[in-house]
Amino acid sequence: MKLSGVKATAFFAKPDRSCAGLLIFGMDAEKINTRRQEVTLALVGDAAMDEMRLTRLSASDVRKDPALVLDALKAQGFFPGPRAVVVEGASDGLAPVLETAVAEWEQGDAYLIVTAGSLNVRSKLRKVFEAPQNLYAIGIYDDPTRPEEVDKMLVDAGLKNVSIEAKKYLLALSRDVGLGDFKQVLSKLSLYKLKDETPVDVSDVDACAPATLDADIDDVLHIVAEARSSEVGPTLNRLAGQGVNATALCIGATRHFRMLHAAASDPQGPDVGFSRARPPVFGPRKDRLVRQARGWGGQRLEKALQVLMDTDLMLRSSRPVPAMAVVERAFIRIAMMRPK
């Protein structure tokens, strides 16, 4: 059974205990590892490793000895309680082995948790987990953490009294750091506010946030395209600290807005426009770009491209200019052109 969105988030927090197994796949290894830890803890508890109720196998181990998975699922431990078998780094080559193992699964056997990299819709491994009702498959994509996910993580960390501004800061922070790192920030913040009944404010979050955060050019492009003008400056500062130059930012923004313009100008709408793009755009990234294109419209995108062309000419002129300041001003100006 395939799960996504809110249903997937709910499953990780409170998994179906009648299920035989779960496949977690995607390109973000850190998120996959965090979600695997979360669902394993929910299924078998934090004492499972000490009580030998958790078996971890690598894909290479299973390839050498395919019987390992089924043997581990059927094995009876010395300590009472639910058991789990984790197979890490699986691929389509293990689909027959895992299909055989889950076909022989019975109530009382260990839960099977499998992690894998990026798998397309024709993946044999995905089909093993997506077809049966007692198996689940969840794709982990590089999309921003949703506000409801942040709210739940705050509650789990015991942070129930958070000011509106601090919550906005935490939501922005969740987009800049990995899921595991963000949970560590919340754990640190929970200890920081221990026995302090006052609401969590921006200064508290700032005291617990990482001193430096890595950023990617795509981060600032999405920030500009989504009219989040207040986030432009801090993100550009991090990019500058990583050695990204102003010309590369301007070229990247021009490419991004040209892609949005081409999709917005398609007679059948942005959704079809991105389907025709080369290279093709699909999945959550396509959904995000479609929302951006619809929010802008063709005319506003043309004006944004004009600002970027003027900025590019200014950066390439022989006259010395404060390059990053010029790009920051242009990005903020463009972000404020789109209605929120």
Reported as a pLDDT band with limits 50, 70 and 90, residue 142 is: low
Q: Which residues contact 94 (CB under 8 A, 6 or more apart)?
A: 59, 62, 63, 87, 125
Strands ordered across the beta sheet of 54-58? 2-3, 135-140, 21-26, 111-116, 84-90, 54-58
What is the structure's pLDDT at 143? 66
What is the structure's pLDDT at 144? 67
**Residue 192 pLDDT exceeds 60:** yes
What is the architecture of the domain spanning 2-140?
3-Layer(aba) Sandwich (3.40)
Q: Which of 160-164, 264-268, 303-307 has the highest mean pLDDT?
A: 303-307
Over the chain, what is the mean pLDDT? 87
**Helices within the chain (DSSP H only):** 5-13, 29-44, 59-64, 67-74, 95-103, 124-130, 147-156, 164-176, 179-192, 202-208, 217-225, 232-241, 246-264, 270-275, 283-296, 298-316, 323-335
**Residue 211 pLDDT exceeds 60:** no
Q: What mean pLDDT comes out for the span 37-46?
A: 89
Domain extents in the chain: 2-140, 147-208, 217-335
| CATH topology classification for 217-335 | Zinc Finger, Delta Prime; domain 3 (1.20.272)
What is the structure's pLDDT at 280? 64
